[in-house]
Amino acid sequence: MVAVRLGGLLAVIGAVGVVVLAAALVIRAPALVTPALALLGAEYAGLFLVRGDTLDVRAPLYGAAFLVVAELAFAALELRAGAAEPGLVARQVAVLVGAAAAGVVVGLVVLAAAATPLEGGLGLEAVGIAAAVVLVAAIGRAAARSR
C-alpha cells in the first residue's frame, strides 16, 4: 500500500520535472533547467525507496540519458541566443556521444565493482569512500574546466 502511494508520488514528481523542463525550453529560462533536472533525479532516487533495491543495473544508461537531456536542454537555449559557428554543432554532438558512452562504460565498471562481494571490513570501506570522494571531485573539476 505504501509502495503504491510512493510510486504515485514519484510519477507526479517525474511529471512535474518534465513540465518544468518543457517550460524552461519554451520560455527560454535556463534557470529552470536545473530544478527540472533535480526533480527528475529525485524521482529516480526515490525509485529505490519503492523497489527496495540497492543496485540498479540500468543506472549507467539512466546516467547517460540524464547527461544527454541536460546537455541538449542547455544547448537548445544557447542556440536560441544566436547563430552557431560552422561545425560547432557537429563537434558538440560528437563530444556528447563520447561523454555518454564513456559514462556508460564507467558506470558499468562501478556497478560491477559494487556488486562484487568483498570481505574487507572498515578499512576497505574507508578506502572506497575516499575513492568515491576523489572521483566526484575530479568530475567536478573536469566539468568546471569545460565551461
d(CA 59, CA 56): 5
Tell me which residue of 79, 74, 72, 11 sits closest to 39, measured CA to CA: 11
CB proximity list for 43: less than 8 A, separation 6 or greater: 10, 13, 14, 17
Residue written as cell 502511494? 5
Cα 127 from Cα 111, distance rounded (Å): 17
pTM of the entire structure? 0.71
> pLDDT tens track of the chain, all 147 residues?
566 677 788 899 999 999 999 999 999 999 999 999 999 999 998 888 787 767 788 889 999 999 999 999 988 888 765 666 788 888 888 999 999 999 999 999 888 887 777 777 777 788 888 898 898 888 888 877 766
* Domain spans of the chain, in order of start: 1-54, 57-116, 120-147
Q: Which amino acid, 38?
A: A
